[in-house]
Structures are given as structure tokens and as C-alpha cells.
Structure 1
Amino acid sequence: MGDSCCNPLSIGSIIKLIEKTITPSPYILSLRIGNNIVEDTSNGFFMNINHQIDYVCKKLEANKNLSQGYHSLGFSQGGQFFRAVAQRCPNPPMLNLISIGGQHQGVFGFPRCPGDNVTVCNYIRDLLRFGAYETIIQDHLVQAEYWHDPHQEEEYRKKSIFLADINQEGTFNELYKTNLLKIRNMILVKFLKDTMVEPHESEWFGFYKQGDTSTIIDLKDSDLYKNDLLGLKQLDEQQRLKFIESNTDHLQFTDAWFIENIIPYLIG
């Protein structure tokens, strides 16, 4: 949100770090959604996530460099977007799914805005306040599509066009589970001092108890896990579900932390 594929101060610096750390330097595709950086940034706010997933799936399938498999690395909302890719588009095969600060149970609260997007974020706050589950907002506002209101759980399950779907909270899709179980590992990074994601436990599939924003239900106590709707319980029992912490704010980590915790999953 508020970033682009090719920002030298963010994604660009991660690419350089990976190229410097892994020998020989791997092939890296930094996904751009749109024809240029301006469109890529805008689409992070206003392009229907389902359309983004379709767009990415076609790009991955057409890329011969990825035909034998690839590791996915999603930052913030990119974490749950890449999970949707794994669930919906098993070809080419995703190897390790790495979610760094992804909001897998959604958010309930809109944060401070990164970069120069303050006006955009204020506009989005107004739209979410107006009605996150109104059809026109669901169709055109990315953040509404993973907005999870614990006080309107039934409304969320019925009208969320993205998150409720990929979390099997509407019609059960067996392929979502089958496809997710094809990955080697799912790596979930949670930022313990996160001021962007509310609640930050969503980064490990935790979320508020229905109707109670003072109580968090952890993944293993959730129906999603107990009923194994996505295969997360199976991944966990097979030690393929990895939980990593960073005692920092959202997406704030050092090169040394990244090399120690993430690079091993990008090799082989």
C-alpha cells in the first residue's frame, strides 16, 4: 500500500540485498501492476484485488524463468495477495510463501499513511467509514476487500469479495486447500510493535473475537485452524508453517535480520 515495484528505497533495496547475498544472483521478478510506477502505486489502493490476482497469475504463467517453481515474497498487503495466488494459481508452482507483515485475517482500523499518500488515505478512511461492505466500495477499494469488522461478522462473510473468499468463510473451495498444501513452507512474519496493522496478530492469522475488540483469538484456537479449512493445521503438523517475529514496527528490519530469517527460504 502506497509503494511500487521499483522504489529504490524499499523493494529495490531488498532486490539488491538478495542479489548481493545469494550466489549466483537469482532471477528476481518484482511485480508491477499496471503500465508504469504511477499506475502500480495507484492500483495498490483502487484496483480490485481479484483482478490483480488474475493479472499476476497470467504474468507468472507466461514467464518461462519461473516454470520450475519460484519463491514468493510479499510485503504487507502483498502477503495475503500472494497467498491468494498460491490458492488460485498453482502453475507455475510456488515453492515457499513468505509473508512479511501480511494481514491474513484482515484489518479493523486504517493506519497512518506511508509516503506522500496522506490525502489518498484520508479519502479511504472516509469510504471505509461510509460503508466498507457496500458493493461499489468492495469492487473498487483494495483496503475494503480485506476490511474485517468483528462487529459485523455476518455482513463481512456475505459481502467481502476477497478475504472472506480466500479464508473459506463463504462457499468452501476444496482447490484452495489442495493448492495451498502444494507449497513447501508458509513463512509468516509478525511485527510485535506494529503501528500500521490493527490487530498485528492478523499477521499470524489471529484476530479479534466476534463482537469483542479487546480479545484476540489466536490461529490455533480459530475455526479456520481447527476445521483445517485451508490446510494450515496440516502444514503446522508437518512443520511447514513457520512463525517469525520481529520486535519492531511495520516492515522495519535490518539487513542482518533479513539475511538470518528470510534468505534461507530463498535458496534452493
Structure 2
Amino acid sequence: MLAIVAFVFLFQVVTCSSNNANISSADEPLPVVLWHGMGDTCCNRGSLGAIVDLIEQQVPSIYVRSLRIGDNEEKDFSNGYFMNVNDQISFACQLIRSDDKLKNGFNLIGFSQGGQFTRALVQRCSLPVRNLITLGAQHQGVFGLPRCEAVTNNLLHNSVCDFVRKLLSLGAYNSFVQKRLVQAEYWHDPLKEQKYKEKSVFLADINNEKSPRNETYRQNLVNLNKFVMIMFEDDSMVIPRESSLFGYYETGNIKKIVPLEDSLLYTDDRLGLKELNESGKLIKLTIPGDHLQFTDDWFTSNIIEAYLK
């Protein structure tokens, strides 16, 4: 229990299938489903509710479903920290399957940790998703505290960050913590790669790094019309920021980032990302700014106009 409290405290202190959908009418926009990130909620106007409003303003006849994981927004907020991710995926699958307005297909957008969660929905639930869009996701996990690498010239600051990261790595793969703390479930220690693959209850599974590999995971991603990944160039929440595009630290080396195309995940195509890329279905975008910092105009032009209309 102390490990969980310490882990959450540190995060909060630093921060303060997939079949192509058939559209019933050429004039009717495909519905869209949203999943928020850590510290946000489904529907509050100061949170993802603002995105719902923006989409509805730009596409008046569209149906937007922002996923609420729990009976109310308070539970939705706390579940972003404390509800086992695998249970969240199962819960979200049932929400979508029980919504008749989504049965003929929809687009899916995930924000921050909601990005890897929406990808898990595609892989595990075999839903009729047309386009999957993730913004600032942690597809390869994280190995660092949010905001910790923002002060690059402060040696004391960076040494403290490294020390705390080592402490987190000691407890993140404890089975009790793995099952109960969301952020531990996508903690990816490149210095303990084998332990990560063995102990990770969520990320190593959806990245198809366990044996035997799950061919359904791969096929459901390949069936997408488009998989759009967006990285924020100055992201200080996702460590390393390249995780948003499936880049990550080299195994055993936290000084070198290996881009997706040079990774084993890509070359052996365990997720179908190479096939998606070669067929023009994998879209990688980078935009200036910190984590999830974008304007309404940018979102309208690059997301709504490009993929939702």
C-alpha cells in the first residue's frame, strides 16, 4: 500500500475488429468516441467536454460519445489513477457495444493515456473502428516523471529526477502495484526489459511482447482505415516524448532513442505497424508545444476536417 501511495504522490506532485465501418448514409457523419487522459474527465467543460463541444460545433449532426469510466465524473477521475487498466478496457468495450448509435462504425480518439487505452480497445474488442487517432499517447510506455526533463540545464534537478525514477522502477513491477495503479501499468524500464515483459500486466500485452503472440491484436490494427499518432515536440509529460510515435529508449540505454522504424516492434511487425505504414495507413504527426497544447483551429483543421467529416 505504501508503494502505491508513494507512486501516485510522486506523479501528482510533478504534474500538480477493427473492421472498416460502413456508413449508413453518405450525408451522415460517422460517430466519434473519445477517451480522456490522466487527471481529466469525460464531460466537464474544463476538460474533454470542451472537445465534445468543438466537434459538435464543427459537425452539427455528428454523434459524440466521451467515455465515462465509472458511475459519475468523480469515479471517472479517480479511475484514471486506480482502476486496473484491463478492467477499464473491458468496461469501455461494454459501453460501446451497448450503444446502438455506434454499431455501424465510428472514429476513435484517445488523449494522453487514453491513447494507448483506445488502441487496446481496437486490438482486444474487435470493434467497428474506422480511424484511430491518438494525441500525446504513451504507446511504448514511460520511463520518467512528468515535467522532470523540462529543466535540461539544472544538474541538481536532473539528478533528483534520475534518483526518483530509480525508486519508481523498484516498485512499479510489484504485482500489487501493477494491478492497482494505472501509471505503473505502462511503466517501461529499458534497463529491466525482461522484467518489464514478464511483469507488465497491460502494456507488454497490448504491444504483443508476450508469448504466444496474439494475432488478433495485429489483425485488428491492420484493419483500420487510418492510425494517426501525434507527438508534441516540447512534451514534458510523456518521458520520452517519442513514445507518442512508438519511439523509445534503446534497451539498456536511456541516452539513445530508437525510432519506430528501427525497432523490433516494427521490423518483426508484431502489431502490423509496418504493414500499416507501407500501405499508407499509418500517419505520424508532430506539432510544437507541450503536452496536449493545441488550438481549436489546429484541432479543427488536422483532426475534424481531415478525419471526422
Asked whether 1:192 is paired with 2:233, we answer: yes
- 1:139 aligned residue: 179
Percentage identity across aligned positions?
Answer: 52
Contact 2:169–2:189, Cα closer than 8 Å, also in 1? no
- The equivalent position to 1:164 in structure 2, one of 195, 200, 204, is 204
CA distance in 2, matches of 1:60, 1:173: 22
Q: Give the AA of the match of 2:229.
A: L
Runs of 4+ in structure 1 over 2 Å off: 124-130, 264-268
Q: How many residues align?
A: 256
Higher Rg: 2
- The equivalent position to 2:105 in structure 1, one of 25, 46, 69, is 69
- The equivalent position to 1:40 in structure 2, one of 76, 90, 101, is 76
CA distance in 2, matches of 1:267, 1:89: 22
- 2:120 aligned residue: 84
Equivalent position SS for 2:132: strand
Equivalent position SS for 2:285: strand
Q: What are the within-5 Å matches in structure 2 for residues 216-227 of structure 1?
A: 216-227=257-268
Q: What are the within-5 Å matches in structure 2 for residues 5-16 of structure 1?
A: 5-16=42-53
CA distance in 2, matches of 1:126, 1:149: 9
Shift of 1:101: 0.5
Shift of 1:265: 4.2
Asked whether 1:260 is paired with 2:301, we answer: yes
CA distance in 2, matches of 1:251, 1:127: 27
Q: Give the AA of the match of 1:94.
A: V
Contact 1:127–1:137, Cα closer than 8 Å, also in 2? no
CA distance in 2, matches of 1:58, 1:183: 20
- The equivalent position to 1:98 in structure 2, one of 133, 138, 161, is 133
Q: Unmatched 5+ residue regions in structure 2? A: 1-37, 149-163
- 1:19 aligned residue: 56
CA distance in 1, matches of 2:147, 2:166: 14
Contact 1:4–1:32, Cα closer than 8 Å, also in 2? yes
Alignment RMSD (CA, Å): 1.7
TM-score computed with the length of structure 1 as normaliser: 0.92
TM-score computed with the length of structure 2 as normaliser: 0.80
Q: Deviations over 1:115-153 (max 9, x none)?
A: xxxxxxxxx989835510000000000000000001100
Equivalent position SS for 2:79: helix
Shift of 1:25: 2.7
Q: Give the AA of the match of 2:134.
A: S
CA distance in 2, matches of 1:237, 1:181: 11
Shift of 1:264: 2.9
Q: Deviations over 1:234-258 (max 9, x none)?
A: 1000100001111100000001111
Contact 1:18–1:25, Cα closer than 8 Å, also in 2? no
- The equivalent position to 2:280 in structure 1, one of 219, 225, 239, is 239
For structure 1, which segment, 188-197 or 10-19, has the greater mean C-alpha deviation from structure 2 after superposition? 10-19
Equivalent position SS for 2:249: strand
CA distance in 1, matches of 2:166, 2:61: 45
Q: Unmatched 5+ residue regions in structure 1? A: 114-123
